[in-house]
């Protein structure tokens, strides 16, 4: 059954009908009632119902043909999940597709393949049993939530295509999200790390990540064209990942960031500018030294090795861990440099709204998770509590003495 609402645009009532594409994405259709807003509310309501009835008669969401029904009637749920994955391939980022593919083609497919559960026979208990199986395999709630999200999207598409009357997952309780608290370095620890990295090839990506709180894919994806030395800005607008797509493993280039908020232009910090200029000079020397053997395919990228090859994101993570271990530094993940940036900004009085823009978070809640209290802040809080209680106790003593 179609649904809709009335909206006013330029003084005219419009019927906004809720239609959906095959992927479950809402595609509202605006239809003018040709009625002016003033004095026509009831007429507009009747017109809305007439428009809905007319569209339903046109059968905008037709039932599948007998051939399609027969196909899905016998399709296993695991095979349907693969079909869904293929159907959304061109509508999502490649890195997102890789993540979805790992979910669908891994434990999900093998589990439901063995159970031989058909799509039209899928029940909430089947999905619940699968989640229990994942938990037994050592997967945490947040990972299981990724499975849940993929299954939910796929089943919503099946409902829209009228393959199944309703989604079994809608009858289940939501999976509780585990609060993740990442680790971070203090300013002293970061300064020590930078002194150790001085002059190494990994110094630049780690410095940029620490100062700007970048994601790994953003750090590797920075190009020289994103640096404006005249205006003193750096623009985060391109990412580089690495994975398998269509059976081929290689770099994954995206001319868009994780979300709209991730696209950001930030001031070029002097120490970063100085290191960039030195790095640019080094790349030019490396090119002259290597001659024709120098790889120019990725010449616009900053994070390249001595022979011009683009550095793989995983390699940076690997070398980072090795450097920490070799120098007896406290272990943190490479991504925790992003946490460190947020925490240091917060500690030095930067508002969370500004930290959100600096890190490129689409959600304020995400920024709250990144900006941790360090030990010194906790001690300051403890001092405040101590002083307050001391004052109150002193007041009580004075009253008792009187």
Rounded to an integer, the average pLDDT of 358-387 is: 64
* pLDDT digit string, tens, across residues 231-256: 999 999 999 999 887 778 899 998 86
Is the pLDDT reported for residue 94 higher than 50? yes
Give pLDDT, residue 109: 97
Q: Domain for residue 242, yes or no?
A: yes
73 versus 70: the higher-pLDDT residue is 73
Tell me: do 352 and 291 sit in the same domain.
yes
Is pTM beyond 0.95? Reply is no
> Are 11 and 81 contained in the same domain?
no
pLDDT band, very low/low/confident/very high, at 318 (cuts 50, 70, 90): very high
**What is the rounded average pLDDT for all residues in the chain?**
85
Q: Are residues 121 and 215 in the same domain?
A: no
For 88-236, list the strands marked E by DSSP.
Answer: 227-228, 233-236
Exposed, middle or buried by CB within 10 Å (0-12, 13-18, 19+), for 378? exposed
Crossing angle (nearest 10°) for helices 141-160 and 124-136 = 160
Domain boundary among 171, 195, 215: 171
Look at residue 131 and tell me if it is in a domain. yes
Are residue 121 and residue 220 in the same domain, yes or no?
A: no
**Alpha-carbon span 34 to 45, nearest angstrom:** 12
Residue 269, in any domain of the structure: yes
Looking at the fold, whether 235 and 358 belong to one and the same domain comes out as yes
Q: How many domains does the chain have?
A: 3
Q: How far apart are CA 339 and CA 267, in angstroms?
A: 20
User: Residue 61 — very low, low, confident or very high, per pLDDT cuts 50/70/90?
Assistant: very low
Q: What is the mean pLDDT of residues 278-290?
A: 95
Q: Specify if 117 maps to a domain.
A: yes
Apex CA 121: angle with CA 131 and CA 177, to 5°?
Answer: 25
For the cut 70, the answer to whether the pLDDT of residue 326 exceeds it is yes
> What per-residue confidence (pLDDT) applies to 324?
96
Q: Is position 353 within any domain? A: yes
Print the domain residue range for 36.
4-57
Provide the pairing of β-strand 12-17 with 4-9. antiparallel
């Amino acid at each position: 059954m179609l649904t809709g609402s009335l909206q006013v645009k330029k003084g005219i009532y419009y019927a906004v009908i809720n239609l959906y594409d095959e992927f479950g994405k809402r595609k509202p259709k605006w239809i003018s009632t040709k009625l002016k807003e003033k004095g026509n509310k009831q007429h507009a309501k009747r017109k809305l119902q007439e428009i809905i009835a007319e569209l339903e008669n046109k059968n905008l969401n037709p039932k599948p043909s007998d051939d399609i029904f027969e196909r899905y009637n016998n399709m296993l749920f695991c095979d349907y999940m693969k079909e869904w994955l293929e159907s959304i391939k061109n509508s999502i980022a490649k890195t997102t597709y890789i993540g979805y593919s790992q979910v669908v083609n891994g434990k999900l497919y093998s589990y439901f393949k063995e159970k031989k559960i058909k799509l039209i026979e899928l029940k909430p208990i089947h999905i619940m049993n699968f989640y229990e199986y994942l938990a037994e395999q050592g997967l945490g709630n947040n990972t299981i939530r990724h499975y849940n999200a993929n299954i939910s999207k796929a089943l919503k598409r099946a409902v829209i295509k009228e393959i199944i009357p309703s989604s079994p997952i809608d009858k289940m309780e939501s999976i509780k999200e585990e609060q993740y608290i990442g680790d971070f370095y203090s300013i002293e620890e970061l300064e020590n790390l930078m002194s150790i990295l001085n002059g190494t090839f990994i110094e630049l990506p780690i410095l940029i990540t620490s100062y700007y709180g970048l994601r790994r894919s953003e750090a590797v994806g920075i190009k020289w064209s994103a640096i404006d030395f005249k205006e003193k800005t750096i623009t985060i607008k391109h990412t580089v990942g690495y994975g398998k797509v269509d059976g081929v493993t290689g770099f994954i280039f995206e001319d868009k960031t994780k979300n709209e908020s991730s696209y950001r232009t930030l001031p070029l910090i002097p120490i970063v500018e100085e290191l960039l200029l030195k790095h640019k000079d080094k790349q030019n020397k490396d090119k002259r030294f290597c001659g024709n053997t120098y790889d120019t395919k990725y010449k616009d990228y900053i994070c390249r090795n001595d022979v011009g090859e683009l550095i793989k994101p995983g390699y940076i993570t690997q070398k980072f861990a090795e450097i920490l271990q070799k120098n007896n530094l406290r272990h943190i993940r490479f991504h925790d440099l992003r946490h460190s940036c947020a925490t240091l900004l917060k500690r030095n009085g930067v508002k969370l709204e500004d930290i959100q823009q600096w890190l490129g978070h689409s959600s304020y809640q995400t920024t709250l998770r990144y900006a941790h209290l360090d030990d010194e802040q906790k001690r300051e809080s403890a001092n405040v509590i101590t002083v307050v209680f001391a004052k109150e106790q002193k007041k009580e003593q004075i009253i008792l003495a009187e």
